[in-house]
Amino acid sequence: MESIYKSDVVIVGSGISGLMTAVSLYPRKVTLVTKRKLGEMSSSAWAQGGIAAAVTKHDSPQKHFEDTIKASSGLSNESAVKVITEEALDVVKFLEKIGVNFDKNGSEFSLSKEAAHSYRRVLKINGDQSGKFLVDYLISYAKQQGHITFVEDVSIDHIIQKENQCLGIMGHIHKNEVIDNFVFFQSPNVILATGGLGSIYAHTTNPRDVYGEAIAMAAKANAELVDLEFVQFHPTALDIGLDPAPLLTEAIRGEGAFIVDENNKRFLFEDDPLGEMAPRDVVSRSIHKHKLKGHSTFLDCRHVKINFERMFPTASQYLKQASISPSKDFIPIIPAAHYHMGGIKVDINGRTSVDGLWACGECSSTGAHGANRLASNSLLEAFVFSKRIADTINSEPPKKGHKLLNIENYIPKEKTISKIRAKKYIWQLRSAMNKFVGVDRNKLTLDQAFIEFFRIERETKSLSAKLKDMLLVSKLITFAAMHRKESRGTHFRSDYPTKNNKLLKRNVFIQNDLYEYLNNKFEKVI
């Protein structure tokens, strides 16, 4: 049994990007499709930092621009950085208009300090609960508007296209994890907003559902991808064996917390004079290196004189569950995959290289973050670019949707492997990504990663859709990492440990480039 929905625009994902695009598209008829219930399992709702914006007298969009460029390690698209830093204030005004109450001291915003920002610049809501509140506000605002149809519990599997024209998407409804029905969405505009891919790594701060499915879909539709090698590891995920690992926001270090080892040594200064306030990639690499030498690593807040529970309610909750007291105990930490700077290549208005296909938020790559994202620029980028996509679509005359062609071909004919078996292989894949394509990589580890992917593929034959997508995304990242023969931002190669400005360009490719490479290089293994 299949159903077909038709609308002017279909949006996949109900985090900040999906919701913001949907509300900004008024009065176009929009269908918003989401894998769980609205806002559930989105990275946005888990965001603890907030929104970076130059809102104080001594700060300015220009200074925010300069900090962003500096953090991005030379690779950012300056136009995209200009757009996000200049439009930040409009985002804040829009959110206040729909009722968002940012934290304030009297009439002034109460701002956090995060690494590599020259000023306190991060607006937050209820301490470290910004993401949750923003998603809740947007959901209730979206529900008051009549132009959006919400379709929940649908996993999207494919983009349907004719040559380079996107005609819609197809997916399946899952009830209690069982496929119940195939669903088709016919629309001349498809917007991908499913978030990043942290969960293809064993250590991640992202929800389980966030494993790069938009990148897999776009790759299969031959869309251009860019800079996939740049995966940001957050230095301070709570290391108590939970999967995903709870995030301990950088704002805790902004309030003066130290990173130490078991001997209470602040070892970060061996790598950067900024210590705890050095850019994220530097701090994560230092911790990784220190761990490889056999040390344990901790966040130390014992000397920090703040009301921890009030400022960081989310972190406090996790610590309480683990019986850790921030005023008395060292807090064990580990770097964990947190944000993807690469993604589906989009232009300054969110258009991909496939007609009618758009992308925003973490699954897209505007170039605003270059090789390393400045903290709290991601929610900002999500708001700014979602609005830009909506404004662009609204400025054009409505297009007629094309009839979906050969839809039966998209319905899988074979039974896939059982969920339990898939889980085992998904864990093996995530572990391989952590070990071979993580904070530190080189040609040898990247080759080992490919060998491991082929083994998993061989042993699993009829793969589950999720495992298939995860394998594709893992191969694409590994391929991208193999091709950048230098170290820049979050991409560190121990066989090319320095920057090479002769290679300073964005790494653009399509899925076929990966297959050509694998066929030439691994013929025997495949």
Q: Which residues bind ligand SIN (CB under 6 A)?
A: 48-49, 249-251, 338-339, 375-376, 378
By C-beta, is 190 or 252 nearer to ligand SIN? Answer: 252
By C-beta, is 194 or 376 nearer to ligand SIN? Answer: 376
By C-beta, is 14 or 232 nearer to ligand SIN? Answer: 232
Locate 505 and state its tokens.
């360009």
Residue-wise burial string across 23-51, b where 16 or more C-beta atoms lie within 10 A, e elsewhere = bbbeebbbbbbbbbebbebbbbbbbbbbb
By C-beta, is 213 or 250 nearer to ligand SIN? Answer: 250
Residue 265 has a CB neighbour count (10 Å cut-off) of: 14
Is residue 27 reached through a cis peptide bond, with omega within 30 degrees of 0 on the bond before it? yes
Determine phi and psi for 56, rounding to 5 degrees.
-100, 165
Identify each DSSP E strand in 322-377 by its residue range. 331-340, 343-345, 357-359, 364-365
- Residue 388 and residue 429: Cα distance in Å, rounded? 36
Residue 76 has a CB neighbour count (10 Å cut-off) of: 26
By C-beta, is 7 or 68 nearer to ligand SIN? Answer: 68
Active site residue 120: no
Rounded to a whole number of angstroms, the minimum distance from the CB of residue 336 to ligand SIN is 11
Rounded to a whole number of angstroms, the minimum distance from the CB of residue 236 to ligand SIN is 7
What is the maximum span of the chain, computed from C-alpha positions, in angstroms? 68
User: DSSP characters for 124-178?
Assistant: -BTTB-HHHHHHHHHHHHHHHSSSEEEE-SEEEEEEEEETTEEEEEEEEEEETTE
Determine phi and psi for 274, rounding to 5 degrees.
-80, -10
**Catalytic residue among 280, 351, 441, 484, which?**
280
Rounded to a whole number of angstroms, the minimum distance from the CB of residue 379 to ligand SIN is 7
Residue nearest to ligand SIN (CB): 49
Q: Are 320 and 273 in contact (CB under 8 A)?
A: no
SS3 90: helix
Rounded to a whole number of angstroms, the minimum distance from the CB of residue 376 to ligand SIN is 4
In terms of DSSP H, where are the helices of 396-510? 419-436, 443-460, 465-483
SS3 335: strand
By C-beta, is 48 or 507 nearer to ligand SIN? Answer: 48
Nearest residue to 255 (alpha-carbon basis) of 418, 463, 110, 376: 110
By C-beta, is 11 or 336 nearer to ligand SIN? Answer: 336
Rounded to a whole number of angstroms, the minimum distance from the CB of residue 115 to ligand SIN is 8
Rounded to a whole number of angstroms, the minimum distance from the CB of residue 390 to ligand SIN is 23
Rounded to a whole number of angstroms, the minimum distance from the CB of residue 85 to ligand SIN is 15
What residues are labeled active site?
A: 280
